[in-house]
Structure 1
Amino acid sequence: MGVIRLLALAAFVAYSRGDLWDVTGHDSAQETAADEHHRGDLRIAFGSCNRHDRAQDLWPAVRSLSPDAWVWLGDAIYADGKVDNVRRYGGRAFHRDAYATQNEHPEYAALRAETRILGTWDDHDYGFNNAGAEWREKEFAQRAFLDFLGEPRGSPRRARAGVYEAYTFRGLGASGASSARLILLDLRFHASARDGTLLGDAQWEWFERLMLGRRTDARGADEGADEGADEGAEDYYDGERRGCVAFDGAEMNENTDCDPVDVTIVGSSVQVHAHTQELLAKMGIGMDIESWNEYPAERRRLFDLIAAANSRTRSLVLSGDVHHSEIGGSPAGCDLPSELVEITSSGMTHGVMEELPTKFLRRMARHATWGMEYLPPWLFPDVGNLRRRRYVGYNFGEVVVDFGVDWDGSAEGLAEGLAEGLAEG
């Protein structure tokens, strides 16, 4: 694996009704000026929790970035709702109509015409709040969701039990030798609290093949691979090579290319590190929020997989669901040997403050969110040379991967590297 000169994890930006708010603490004016000229080798915009029946003010800001892809991380529409204070599924016709309404939104339709739309789902576009493997409409929901994304009729994704998928971006960097992969997990189709599983055996096997480049059985155990097997081409993804799409320059195609990559971005519809929710719950402000914490064995397996793949790829997690944006993750030596950054963007049309039932709780939550910025590092450490930050307004996220700027890992070094890159180019 080649050296990654810059993985711009700091390039996550939240937008509140069109106003730039820089969650990394950099000067927003400087960031905006830099972005106008230095777009990096790969630019992905992402978001979640978008009510199709409400005002959607963020799409002009998304379009202004000219991203290489827009990624849904769940709840692109809401197929359920409350009637007489009882939550109900709207039915198949309503489900499809909701997707049609979203696709017809003028600014979103313009984005679809300009860039590739990718995504996975969460509970509300799956069909029902917190639904999992037991959901009676999951096969229909999969067809409707893939139709919404414009997935080709003959796509292998349509024959899969679940909507998980991976996309490989190659030809990046000045030499064209760098690469990145986006892996979108399905945390609904096989999720079972009773069985303690989120992904299911087939999805775990697929995920492990992509991360480790070796064949695994349904339980994820290596099939005859020794400790150095991940270095041999013969042990890479087998002949099926399911779920990979190659990206070369400005176009994606259906090339089944699953070789190792420099950067891996894992998309999870719910949070892996739900630290904010844990703290709020301890303050008595807990809400009905799902996370990987509810599946400790699956969470541990995820961390072990990312750790095992660390010599092959640099990993980053994106998530949604919680109706606020956040930078968090695991410092080195906490959940896994190396640090793992998670960037959450959630709440494109509605936010967490609107859902708290009383002014007192809203005030408490706002103060708690503000106060978390000042917690001591030994209690709530920063991760990835980034300050942990939260934002409770409407937002979407952006990740820029740049292989052409030197970076020593510090925020100061990032600014200097970007300045040098602009001066050179």
Structure 2
Amino acid sequence: MKFYSMKTKLTSLKLTAIALFLTINGFAQDTSRTKVLTTIAIGSCSRQEAPQYLWPEVLKNNPDLWIWLGDNIYGDTQDMVLLKEKYEVQKSNADYQKMLKQMDIIGIWDDHDYGVNDGGKEFVKREESRDLMFEFLDVERNNPAWKREGGYQSYEYGVAGKKVKILLLDARYFRDELKRENRKYVPNLEGDILGEDQWKWLESELTHSDADIHILAGGIQLLPEEHPYEKWNNFPKAKQRLMKLIGTVQPKNTFYLSGDRHISEISKTVIPGYGAFYDFTSSGLTHSSEGNTSEPNGFRVSKLVDKKSFGLIKIDWSQAKPQVTFEMRGLENVLIDTHKVDWGK
């Protein structure tokens, strides 16, 4: 009996030491909540001074969680006082205030809320801007994300068998140089997006996860390749590294969310040895690229939506494997398109 007690005590001390190590190195779970998610709402590209007609439509769906996917405001400034004022305009919107009262809200930035169009690690105000983003999102002060460089965060919702892990990737703070020629970006063949610290964090989060669904989210699109704008494909080495990481670690039921493009679409590929992998782009809360109805995307498995829209992720936990459905909705909560996720190989 004494031996068992000593063994239990040593095991407890060992687990405590591991937890302390992970915390010190920035790999601890940022935030964990027991709420089981069945409806997640997503969106991006919101001009804080523009009419915001979609918040009431989002609320009609009673989501458990809202995820910002970038361009949460249009800051585009090195003046941090002005950037803070722009965040305050967005946050004070009456309908957005209803969102804050009715659901959890988390998110990550893209370029315009970062402070500079298509910007990367060269932005001189990135540290101050990161803090303003966290304040806007009400990131709790005890969240380990505050102690790291960059804006990446992790959240876990649910209970055993119904657990969702959300990893918000920062594609700005550490991103290498990107050059444009003839109005088209030239791939940076050796360049990186996430930076080594964020890569280590991401690998640890996925490796040590017991979640049933994993959601990666970042500002720019991951799968589309043909268009000339910002995308992971401009950094092919980084994109390959991410896909390889997923194939190696094998996190359960993983997909990616993106914004940025002022269009909405669903893209799909197959990662060898892993299976189906999706990139759900939801962009255009206050403005959209109307008329963009023919942009090529060999990975697209949905309509190309050029109207103002938001996205829904619906999760059915009633079966042995969670059933996930993507929805793209617009004004008056109209269902524009829907796609049931196929986890098959």
Instruction: Output the TM-score relative to the length of structure 2.
Output: 0.75
State how 1:23-422 maps to structure 2 within 5 Å: 41-80=37-76, 89=77, 91-171=79-159, 177-193=161-177, 196-213=191-208, 259-275=209-225, 278=226, 281=227, 286=228, 289-310=229-250, 312-331=251-270, 333=272, 337-353=274-290, 362=291, 365-366=292-293, 368-369=294-295, 380=298, 387-405=301-319
Q: Distance in 2 between matches of 1:163 and 1:50?
A: 19
> Is there any run of 5+ residues in structure 1 with no aligned partner, and where?
1-39, 81-88, 214-258, 354-361, 373-378, 418-425
Q: How many angstroms does 1:106 deviate by?
A: 0.3
Per the alignment, in what secondary structure is the counterpart of residue 352 of structure 1? coil
Q: Distance in 1 between matches of 2:203 and 2:309?
A: 31
> Is there any run of 5+ residues in structure 2 with no aligned partner, and where?
1-35, 178-187, 326-337, 341-345
Per the alignment, in what secondary structure is the counterpart of residue 222 of structure 2? coil
Q: Distance in 1 between matches of 2:258 and 2:172?
A: 14
Q: How many angstroms does 1:332 deviate by?
A: 5.5
Q: How many angstroms does 1:94 deviate by?
A: 1.4
Q: Distance in 2 between matches of 1:308 and 1:180?
A: 20
Q: Distance in 1 between matches of 2:111 and 2:43?
A: 15
Q: Distance in 2 between matches of 1:41 and 1:182?
A: 11
Q: Distance in 1 between matches of 2:271 and 2:247?
A: 11
**How many residue pairs are counted as aligned between the two chains?**
281
Q: How many angstroms does 1:212 deviate by?
A: 1.7
Q: How many angstroms does 1:178 deviate by?
A: 2.5
Q: Is the 8 A contact 1:41 1:403 kept in 2?
A: no
Q: Distance in 2 between matches of 1:60 and 1:408?
A: 28
Q: How many angstroms does 1:389 deviate by?
A: 2.3
With a CA cutoff of 8 Å and minimum separation of 6, indicate the structure with the bigger relative contact order. 1
Q: Percent identity?
A: 30
Q: How many angstroms does 1:117 deviate by?
A: 1.0
Residues 326-360 of structure 1: per-residue CA shift (max 9 Å, x gap): 01121465xx652211110011111123xxxxxxx
Residue type matched to 1:57 in 2? Y
Q: How many angstroms does 1:113 deviate by?
A: 1.0
Per the alignment, in what secondary structure is the counterpart of residue 174 of structure 2? coil
- Alpha-carbon RMSD across the aligned residues, in angstroms, is 2.6
Q: Distance in 1 between matches of 2:147 and 2:45?
A: 26
Residues 90-137 of structure 1: per-residue CA shift (max 9 Å, x gap): 621210001000010000011101111100000110001011111000
